[in-house]
Amino acid sequence: MGITYMHTLEPLPDSYCWSVLSQLAFQGRGETDREMLKETGLEIAKKCKGLPLAAKTIGGLLRFKTSLQEWQEILDSKMWELEKVRKDLFPLLTLSYNELSCHEALLLLLRHLSKG
């Protein structure tokens, strides 16, 4: 049985990434926090480049960041430069990352973010 049709998925709009990210990041927060962090959050959502998993992961991380400075550190983080990893190395890293447990993956991300 062969493939008769392949549907290519396009990146989602930044507004969708913001919706996913903000639902997680602002869970349990008041309107004051939302207003203070929204502009930086929108910029972070753009950096997710239309990938819902990225928006969900970063949104979950931002839930525990309470200040504008902490959100700005995420925005300015070098983690966004990962797309510059050589194409022949990236599949190997992805395979290794996919084999991590949920907790190991989160710890890896937190470790990377803490280095700034």
pLDDT digits (tens, 9 = 90+) for 41-77: 999 999 988 888 888 889 999 999 999 999 999 999 8
- For the entire predicted model, the pTM comes to 0.68
Asked whether the predicted pLDDT for residue 29 surpasses 70, the reply is yes
10, with CB counted inside 10 A (0-12, 13-18, 19+), is exposed
Q: How many CB atoms are closer than 10 A to CB 26?
A: 18
Lowest mean pLDDT among 8-12, 34-38, 91-95, 107-111: 91-95
Residue written as tokens 């700005």?
72
Would you say 39 and 68 are in contact if contact means Cβ atoms under 8 Å apart? no
Residue written as tokens 């997680």?
24
